[in-house]
């Protein structure tokens, strides 16, 4: 079996490291080559039996939908979710509507289409205003958290203007942040040890959530604790809802979910259907390590789950 590791053309240092490391891991067991997602992609990829998909910059608005769609058309099997599931996760509002329908707890939210202005706000409540179709904390600053109508209006307008997207206004959950990683499918679906993201060691005055600033400039001072310091009751809730969500979104092979915890209640915030796999740095590799899987084990497990899924006809 010959495997193509499909990656975006433009890679930052971390992504470059990810692509090289995935190749290194797969070459332990299979023949493999790097294949960029460029204009020659359709022709190049036809020479392979299977794809390990790492492309999430396929288009301006629809990011990770392209490679899976093309591979489905060509009949070439690939790792991770298909375009349908990626689309459900690309828009946080869509994901939240699905969570609500399936009774998976998610913060209360409002939706403001481009041009719409918030008219009322519950006194004493705190909200976070976000662009629904971004990632990597783009559009999230300390000002995104609002406690009065004027500030909310300003942030909603900012999202409309800066991102040309509707604005998602969500109840701000002041509590612990965790990330839940899943690996496998169906009966073999496994929730990895839960990763706690502890912001308490950040410099005084800095926000205690993943703003763009914190995510990109304070990684070193963010404290990652795995397994998370949570009760057994909370852990069981997280595992139950994370598996349910994986299933209702028809996710495949691996995914990662952001969750906030307040008291004993868990609130699912978003789903990353194609989380990054940078050695050491990425959340999911930290979780795998706590489960006893070295980086190469994790990559080969993802691939083996995908192969097994196609053998099973799913
Ligand atoms: N409802 C919320 N309550 C508390 N913090 C939130 C909420 N929504 C987002 N955040 C904070 O903002 C960060 C980024 O938001 P998220 O929705 O995960 O967007 P992204 O796709 O950019 O990761 C989260 O990791 C969390 O720290
Ligand atoms: Mg997130």
What's the pLDDT tens digit per position in 279-296? 999 999 999 999 999 999
Looking at the CA of residue 210, tell me the nearest atom of ligand 1.
27
Q: Whose CA is nearest to atom 22 of ligand 1?
A: 137
Ligand closest in space to the Cα of 163: 1
Looking at the CA of residue 177, tell me the nearest atom of ligand 1.
27
pLDDT for res 223: 95
Does ligand 1 have an atom closer than 6 angstroms to the CB of 96?
no
Share of the chain above pLDDT 70, in %: 98
Mean pLDDT of 274-282: 96
Token pair, residue 214, equals: 């914190």
Q: Whose CA is nearest to atom 7 of ligand 1?
A: 172
Does ligand 1 have an atom closer than 6 angstroms to the CB of 136?
yes
Instruction: Round the average pLDDT of the chain to a whole number and report it.
Output: 96
Ligand closest in space to the Cα of 125: 1
Task: Give the span between the Cα atoms of 113 and 237, in whole angstroms.
Answer: 33
Cα(103) to centroid of ligand 2, in Å? Answer: 21
pLDDT for res 172: 98
Cα(78) to centroid of ligand 1, in Å? Answer: 29
Does ligand 1 have an atom closer than 6 angstroms to the CB of 135?
yes
Indicate if the pLDDT at residue 313 is higher than 80. Answer: no
Task: Give the span between the Cα atoms of 92 and 160, in whole angstroms.
Answer: 15
Name the residue of 109, 163, 269 to mutate for ligand 1: max ligand atoms within 8 A of Cβ: 269
Which residues share a beta bridge with 196?
Answer: 178, 225
Which residues share a beta bridge with 112?
Answer: 167
Closest to 180 (Cα-Cα) out of 244, 259, 103: 259
> 237 φ, ψ to 5°?
-60, -45
pLDDT for res 160: 98
Q: pLDDT tens digit string along 55-104?
A: 998 766 668 999 999 999 999 999 999 999 999 999 999 999 999 999 99
The segment with the largest mean pLDDT, out of 54-58, 126-130, 211-215, is 126-130
Ligand closest in space to the Cα of 213: 1
3-state secondary structure the chain: CEEEEEECCCCCHHHHHHHHHHHHHHCCCCEEEEEECCCCHHHHHCCCCEEEECCCCCCCCCHHHHHHHHHHHHCCCECCCCHHHHHHHHCHHHHHHHHHHCCCCCCCEEEECCCCCCCCCCCCCCEEEECCCCCCCCCCCHHHEECCHHHHHHHHHHHHHHHCCCEEEEECCCCEEEEEEEECCHHHCEECCCEEEECCCCCCCCCCCCCHHHHHHCHHHCEEECCCCCCHHHHHHHHHHHHHHHHHCCCCCEEEEEEEEECCEEEEEEEECCCCCCCCCCHHHHHHHHCCCCHHHHHHHHHHHHHHHHHCCC
pLDDT for res 60: 67
CA distances 218 to 22, 203, 247, 261, Å, are 26, 9, 34, 22
Looking at the CA of residue 267, tell me the nearest atom of ligand 1.
1
Mean pLDDT of 34-42: 96
Does ligand 1 have an atom closer than 6 angstroms to the CB of 110?
no
Return the ∠ at Cα 284 (arms to 311 and 208), rounded to 5°: 150
Indicate if the pLDDT at residue 124 is higher than 80. Answer: yes
User: How many residues can be counted in the chain?
Assistant: 314
pLDDT for res 61: 66
Q: How many CB atoms lie within 10 A of CB 93?
A: 18
User: In the chain, what are the domains?
Assistant: 2-79 (3.40.50.20), 87-105+174-311 (3.30.470.20), 109-171 (3.30.1490)
pLDDT for res 312: 76
Does ligand 1 have an atom closer than 6 angstroms to the CB of 195?
no
Mean pLDDT of 208-221: 92
Q: pLDDT tens digit string along 217-233?
A: 998 899 999 999 999 99
Cα(209) to centroid of ligand 1, in Å? Answer: 7
Looking at the CA of residue 258, tell me the nearest atom of ligand 1.
18
pLDDT for res 282: 95
Q: Whose CA is nearest to atom 13 of ligand 1?
A: 210
Mean pLDDT of 151-166: 97
> 269 φ, ψ to 5°?
-100, -45
Name the residue of 64, 125, 258, 283 to mutate for ligand 1: max ligand atoms within 8 A of Cβ: 258
Cα(49) to centroid of ligand 2, in Å? Answer: 33
Task: Give the span between the Cα atoms of 252 and 245, in whole angstroms.
Answer: 12
Cα(36) to centroid of ligand 1, in Å? Answer: 31
């Amino acid at each position: 079996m010959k495997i193509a590791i499909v990656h975006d053309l433009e890679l930052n240092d971390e992504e470059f490291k990810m692509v090289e490391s995935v190749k290194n891991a797969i070459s332990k067991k299979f023949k493999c080559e790097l294949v960029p997602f460029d204009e020659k992609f359709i022709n190049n990829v036809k020479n392979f039996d299977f794809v390990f998909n790492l492309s999430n910059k396929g288009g301006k608005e629809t990011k990770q939908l392209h490679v899976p769609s093309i591979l489905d058309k060509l009949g070439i099997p690939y790792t991770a979710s298909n375009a349908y599931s990626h689309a459900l996760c690309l828009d946080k509002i869509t994901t939240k509507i699905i969570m609500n329908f399936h009774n998976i707890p998610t913060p209360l939210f409002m939706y403001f289409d481009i041009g719409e202005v918030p008219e009322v706000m519950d006194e004493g409540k705190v909200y976070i205003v976000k662009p629904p179709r971004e990632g990597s904390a783009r559009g999230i600053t300390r000002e995104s958290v609002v406690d009065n109508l004027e500030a909310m209006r300003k942030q909603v307008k900012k999202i409309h203007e800066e991102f040309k997207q509707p604005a998602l206004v969500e109840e701000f959950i002041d509590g612990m942040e965790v990330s839940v990683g899943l690996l496998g499918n169906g009966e073999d679906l496994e929730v990895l040890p839960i990763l706690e993201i502890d912001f308490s060691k950040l410099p005084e005055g800095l926000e205690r959530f993943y703003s763009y600033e914190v995510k990109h400039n304070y990684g070193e001072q963010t404290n990652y604790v795995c397994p998370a310091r949570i009760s057994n009751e909370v852990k069981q809730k997280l595992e139950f809802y994370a598996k349910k969500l994986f299933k209702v979104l028809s996710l495949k092979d691996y995914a990662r979910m952001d969750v906030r915890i307040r008291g004993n209640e868990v609130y699912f915030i978003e789903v990353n259907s194609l989380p990054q796999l940078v050695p050491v740095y990425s959340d999911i590799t930290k979780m795998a390590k706590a489960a006893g899987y070295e980086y190469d084990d994790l990559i080969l497990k993802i691939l083996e789950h995908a192969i097994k899924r196609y053998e099973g006809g799913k």
